[in-house]
Each structure stands twice: as C-alpha cells, then as structure tokens.
Structure 1
Amino acid sequence: MSDTADLDSYYPSTCPFCTIASAFPCASSTSASTTLSSAVPSEEAADPTRVDPNAFVLLSAPEVLAFLDILPMTRGHVLVASRTHRKKVADLEGAEASEVGFWLPLLARTVAKVTGVTDYNIVQNNGPRAAQVIPHVHFHIIPRPASLPQVAHKSWTMFGRGQRDELDDEDGAKLAREMRGVLREEVGRVEGRGRGRGKL
C-alpha cells in the first residue's frame, strides 16, 4: 500500500475507540482534577452495555482508556488507548504520552496478577503496513501463558486472524471486574507512597 493510497476502505468508517471514549467519560470532566483512584470506574460507571459491541473498561483517565480486547489473543489481552483520537504515537502530545507511560506499568502488573501469567508482550502498531487495524493510538498488553514458542522461531506470532476468538460477554464482565479491583489496589499503593502522581 503506497503512502498516497486511499485508506478509507482499509479502516472502519467510525472509530470504535472514540465511541468508547465518549461513552466512558473521565471523572475530571465535572471537577478541576481527579484522583488516581477515581480513574478506575465503579461497577455502575463501567457498564459494558453503554456501547455496542460491549466494552469492558478498566480505566477511564483524563488522557488514557484501558479496556479488554474483544478479540483477545490470550485471556486478559488489554488495550491501552489515548482518549483523544490520535492515529500514531508520533501524534501524541506531551500530557497524553506521559499519562500512557504512567499507566502502562500499573496495567501490566494488573494483567499479570489477575491472569497469573508474568510474561507478556506490550505491542504498539503505527499504520496499516505495521498491522494497525484501528487508526487510533493503542498499546496491546498480551499475557503469554506457560507454553513456550516453537524452538524453530523462538518468538510468538504477534497477530493473526486464526489465533483470535471473540471475548465471551460473561467472562469479559467477570475479568474486567477483577482487573478493576486489582488496579485499584495498584493505584492505592502509588497514592499511599505519596510519590508519583496523587492527582491527574
């Protein structure tokens, strides 16, 4: 695909991540600032049926959202996206990039604790030639279970349609609820240390 190719047919007509961002506003939209813990939505605020298909949201911060991938490569596959529509990492502004960097380690620890899988990939694609399907900046946190890649390749295939199954709504709701609980604990530790960022 050339740089001048028309991407309208490659990308979806509307951005599903922008739809999720609109349906799950940040707490700071009604206050001057928000605490870290308020960025993890309550059960009521995280109602997955606010959008179609359902969205299992873990985090709704001023600049960042996190939610379960609805076509996960493995159980616990999480997407971490910018709230504002940005196509590529190079398009992120300072505050957005900073907040993504702040939340990624907390979300990675959350995924590892909930799934019991301590090895994981963090993958980020920019543009259609780099396997970016949704033209909105997002990072994949993909737990890698105990089995090892085939010795011949010594690496996992990052993406492939044959490897992905639809997320079951019941399992998604249960998994997201557990992840929000663990993420609240991770945030509590950050706030308890009085370091980093007590407020967003």
Structure 2
Amino acid sequence: MPSELDLHYPPDSCPFCNIASAFPSPSFQSRSRASTSSSSSRVESLIDCVPSDAASNHEKTTPSSFIILASQDVIAFLDILPMTRGHVLVATRNHRVKVEDMRGEEGREMGFWLPVLARVVSRVSGSTDYNIVQNNGARAAQVVPHVHFHIIPRPETMPQIKNKSWTMFGRGQRDDLDDEEGASLAAEMRRVLREELQKMESAPKL
C-alpha cells in the first residue's frame, strides 16, 4: 500500500509515462521475432527497440526527451538535469511507483537492458566507472514516483567535488541539458546501442 509521500505525482501527469506514450514500443510483428530460435531474428527484434533518428524527435514531449531505447517494457533516455555527461535514466514503460510494484516480465527485461545500456554509457562517455542508482519513495530521494534506474558516468576528474553537494542519489548541482547537445548525444548512444546488440548475434552461447 503506497504511503502519502508516494502520491505527490499523479500517474496521469507522470513525465516518464508521457515519454513512454510518445515513443511506443515496436509492433507486435517485430517483437514476435524474439521468440524464434534464430539468433539473427532475436537481434533484429532487439534492434527494433532502438528508435531511428527520424522517430526520435525530442520535441515530441515537453520538456524535451532524448530517447535511447523504447522496448516493450523498458524505456531509456537522457536525464535532462544530468549529474555528468551521459547520465541516462532507464525506466519501466508502465507506471510502477516502486521496484516492488514491477511485474516479473518487467524485471526480466530490465535485467537484460541494464548491463547493455551500462556498456553504451561507458563507451560514449569514455568513463569506465559509473553508478547505477535506484530510489524508492520520497524519503529515499525518489523525485519522480515511477520506477527508474540512473546510470551515471564517473569521469576521472570532477573539479572541487568536496565543495559541492554532488551525491549518487540525484541531488546537488545539476545543469539543464542543452537540446542540441542532448539530441546529438542520444543519437550517438542509439548508434552504439545498435552495435552492442549486433555483437550478440556472433556471441557464443552459454
């Protein structure tokens, strides 16, 4: 049962739900390929979840959203108040307030995409170190009550860290993401994500 602190953002005005609506998942026909035995068909189905540049117009939502992934149960996009360059949010497509509210298939899909997106963030940001942070509830610093994971690159040098409130929980000094920079960065992440997925076709089976 959600507490009063969890109800400060009605689902019908949830910004993450707006992003999910603006960037739908692939068609059923495309997704159905994932259930076939062909490795190439599965990879093609996964790549279908990466929106094309033409379909990724950041002006589809207000404020702008810079989409990277739009799968059946998971969406990923740039944080518009990034802590570092390449700060990505990975959220459930459906409105789930806390991790405990996620369904089994959502958890499985999230578990698949998180390591893949972590590799993408690491490659594009050039940072081999990163945090994956997930908050549940207002007292745990969850600002938007919709399940999401932060992938936050940790570059080698961060000037005057000790003098700033720069924490792993999403608070501190954060600047708005410029639209032009956001569009360019998201496009690069989509390109690298497609490359990472393509590698799976030739990867050895476990």
**TM-score above 0.5:** yes
Asked if the contact 2:5/2:138 (under 8 Å) is kept, the reply is no
The 1-side partners of 2:31 and 2:123 are apart by 32
Q: CA deviation at 1:160?
A: 5.7
Q: CA deviation at 1:5?
A: 3.5
Asked if the contact 2:6/2:97 (under 8 Å) is kept, the reply is no
**SS at 2:77 equivalent:** strand
Distance verdict in 2 for CA 1:84–1:108, change over 3 Å: same
The 2-side partners of 1:118 and 1:92 are apart by 29
1:127 aligns with 2:132: no
Asked if the contact 1:11/1:133 (under 8 Å) is kept, the reply is no
- Residues 10-55 of structure 1: per-residue CA shift (max 9 Å, x gap): 4367100000000100113565525011111101111111111111
Q: CA deviation at 1:158?
A: 1.9
**SS at 1:103 equivalent:** helix
Q: CA deviation at 1:86?
A: 0.4
1:33 aligns with 2:32: yes
**SS at 1:112 equivalent:** helix
Picking from 80, 84, 88, the partner of 1:74 is: 84
Distance verdict in 2 for CA 1:4–1:97, change over 3 Å: closer
Distance verdict in 2 for CA 1:148–1:43, change over 3 Å: closer
Q: CA deviation at 1:121?
A: 0.3
Structure 1 stretches of at least 4 aligned residues deviating more than 6 Å after TM superposition = 148-152
Distance verdict in 2 for CA 1:169–1:188, change over 3 Å: same
The 2-side partners of 1:44 and 1:130 are apart by 37
**SS at 2:121 equivalent:** helix
Q: If the length of structure 2 is used for normalisation, what is the TM-score? A: 0.84
**SS at 1:33 equivalent:** helix
Aligned residues: 191
Counterpart of 1:22 in structure 2 is 21
The 2-side partners of 1:122 and 1:115 are apart by 15
Aligned-residue CA RMSD in angstroms? 2.4
Distance verdict in 2 for CA 1:106–1:24, change over 3 Å: same
Counterpart of 1:11 in structure 2 is 9
Asked if the contact 2:6/2:137 (under 8 Å) is kept, the reply is no
Asked if the contact 1:86/1:137 (under 8 Å) is kept, the reply is yes
Distance verdict in 2 for CA 1:170–1:96, change over 3 Å: same
1:1-200 equivalence runs, <5 A: 4-5=3-4, 8=7, 10-11=8-9, 14-29=13-28, 31=30, 33=32, 35-147=45-157, 157-159=167-169, 161-193=171-203, 195=205
Asked if the contact 2:50/2:70 (under 8 Å) is kept, the reply is yes
Asked if the contact 1:40/1:58 (under 8 Å) is kept, the reply is yes
Q: If the length of structure 1 is used for normalisation, what is the TM-score? A: 0.86
Give 1 or 2: higher helix fraction.
2
Asked if the contact 1:73/1:164 (under 8 Å) is kept, the reply is yes
**Structure 2 counterpart of 1:146, one-letter code:** E
Q: Which runs of 5+ in 1 are unaligned?
A: none
Q: Which runs of 5+ in 2 are unaligned?
A: 34-44
- Residues 125-167 of structure 1: per-residue CA shift (max 9 Å, x gap): 0000000011100000000110379898xxx622465411100
Asked if the contact 1:66/1:80 (under 8 Å) is kept, the reply is yes
